């Protein structure tokens, strides 16, 4: 389930109906077809990979996940948002990966953390870095109903809200809770 949601975020770009966009990532070393995490001395020339099975990279801990995502943000010159389940907030704070900027939680490089309860079951151990989210909303629509039998007047105000982002830049699956 976590892989499906993260891949859908990467492929759909956070909005319904958008086309599949390749994930921009540097060519990390490969062994037996599996990607390895290589934070240091990795080649610096980026390459466009098609989205697919190799879009989510396994990393040992949350420090490696944030390091990888922030490196991708730097390469793509993106001011980004890092989406993670609420279960990762305490670990990120433990390893000094959270600084407060007013009401916002920031990473060491100044990107914004987005911790959410919906990500706990949705993303699980996957951390996703995206471009800035955008929101659209329509006009408020008021619907009224008069219940003469019970002497009540009922009004409902509704508004549709859609939130999306331009592109998912990177995703990492954390393999260890404790960083061991």
**More confident position, 65 or 25:** 65
* Bridge partners of residue 25, in order along the sequence: 47
Q: What is the pLDDT of residue 11?
A: 53
Determine the structural domain holding residue 117 and report its residue range.
Answer: 2-174
State the DSSP H helix or E strand holding residue 56, giving kind and residue range, or none if neither.
Answer: strand 56-59
In a domain, 179, yes or no: no
Give per-residue pLDDT as tens, 10-60.
Answer: 555 444 333 333 343 444 444 344 444 444 333 333 333 333 334 788 899
Paired with 104 in beta bridges are 101
Amino acid 1: pLDDT: 53
Q: What is the pLDDT of residue 29?
A: 42
- Is 159 among the domain residues? yes
User: Is 24 inside a domain boundary?
Assistant: yes
45 lies in some domain: yes
The predicted structure's pLDDT at residue 28: 40
C-alpha–C-alpha distance, residues 64 and 67, integer Å: 5
Structural domains counted in the chain:
1
Banded model confidence at residue 111, pLDDT cuts 50, 70, 90: very high
Domain assignment present for 180? no
* pTM, rounded to two decimals: 0.62
- 135-142-14 Cα angle (round to 5): 20
CB 48 within 8 Å of CB 72: no
Is 9 part of a structural domain of the chain? yes
44 in Cβ contact with 71 (< 8 Å): no
Report the run of H or E that residue 153 belongs to, with start and end.
strand 152-158
């Amino acid at each position: 389930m976590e892989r499906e949601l993260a891949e859908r975020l990467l492929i759909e770009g956070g909005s319904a109906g958008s086309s599949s966009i390749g994930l921009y990532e540097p060519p990390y070393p490969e062994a037996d077809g599996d990607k390895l995490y290589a934070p240091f001395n990795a080649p610096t020339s980026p390459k466009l990979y098609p989205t697919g099975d190799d879009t989510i990279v396994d990393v040992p801990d949350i420090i490696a996940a944030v390091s990888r995502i922030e490196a991708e943000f730097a390469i793509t010159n993106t001011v980004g948002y890092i989406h993670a389940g609420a279960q990762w907030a305490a670990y990120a704070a433990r390893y000094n990966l959270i600084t407060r900027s007013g009401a916002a939680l920031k990473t060491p490089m100044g990107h914004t953390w987005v911790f959410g309860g919906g990500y706990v079951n949705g993303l699980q151990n996957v951390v996703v870095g995206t471009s800035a989210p955008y929101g659209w909303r329509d006009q408020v629509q008021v619907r009224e109903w008069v219940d003469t039998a019970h002497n009540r007047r009922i009004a409902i105000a509704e508004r549709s809200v859609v939130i999306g982002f331009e592109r998912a830049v990177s995703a990492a699956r954390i393999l260890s809770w404790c960083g061991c």
